[in-house]
Amino acid sequence: MDHPQRSVIRILGIAGSLRAGSYNRALLRAAQELAPEHVSIQIFDIASIPLYNADVQADGDPEPVMRLKAAIAASDALLLASPEYNHSITGVLKNAIDWASVPPRTSPLSGKPVALMGASTGNTGTARAQMHLRQVCAFTNMLVLNHPEVLVGRARERFDEHGRLVDETSRRFVRRLLEALAEWVARLSAEASSQQD
């Protein structure tokens, strides 16, 4: 559907994998390709985020953390694509969320609409990791979209050798997720404006 009058919805994509050939980063690239016209997706690379240390934080956020927080604050929504490591999300993604979550009073995560997706080489397509991620999102007061769930299992068969998502069903799900996220952002912002009236 065309939405010529709508302003652009800015989504910040974060992959929970640092490796160059990551399927999850490739899933974010697929999302960029499949995004509706009024949705733009920028990918933030969390490779430079240091390990969380409260002593370091007490002296002020390191520069990569400041950039991450500013990018989250400037976005209308987040799109998190995490691999599943040992039935949970990856340490690097949890670490980035931990940094962005403190101090809670000013955390840019609080009240942020978010959608989840993930790709794994096994059959379950990050289902268990996404359940954990929902728990983390709840505590940090992110507003997680419930449906559709995008679980890309057997990733080796769904992406080609250049890292392009070629599986049509997965592409349809990614597109539907982005449409649902755009509607979720619009609905939450309409509710927020009606509360101000």
Ligand X SMILES: Cc1cc2nc3c(=O)[nH]c(=O)nc-3n(C[C@H](O)[C@H](O)[C@H](O)COP(=O)(O)O)c2cc1C
- The two structure tokens encoding residue 60: 């002020």
Nearer to ligand X, 87 or 187 (CB): 87
Binding site for ligand X (CB under 6 A): 17, 19, 22-24, 83-87, 120-122, 124, 155
What's the CA gap between 38 and 6, in Å, rounded? 7
Nearer to ligand X, 92 or 185 (CB): 92
CB of 42 to ligand X, least distance (A): 18
CB of 22 to ligand X, least distance (A): 3
Nearer to ligand X, 24 or 170 (CB): 24
Nearer to ligand X, 87 or 172 (CB): 87
Task: Return the SS3 of 59.
Answer: coil
CB of 60 to ligand X, least distance (A): 31
CB of 19 to ligand X, least distance (A): 5
CB of 53 to ligand X, least distance (A): 23
Nearer to ligand X, 109 or 155 (CB): 155
3-state secondary structure the chain: CCCCCCCCEEEEEEECCCCCCCHHHHHHHHHHHHCCCCEEEEEECHHHCCCCCHHHHHCCCCHHHHHHHHHHHHCCEEEEECCCECCECCHHHHHHHHHHCCCHHHCCCCCCEEEEEEECCCCCCCHHHHHHHHHHHHHCCCEECCCCCEEECCHHHHECCCCCECCHHHHHHHHHHHHHHHHHHHHHHHHHHHHHC
Nearer to ligand X, 3 or 87 (CB): 87
CB of 152 to ligand X, least distance (A): 10
Stated as kind and residue range, the H or E segment containing 137 is helix 127-139
Is 25:81 a contact under the CB 8 Å cutoff? yes
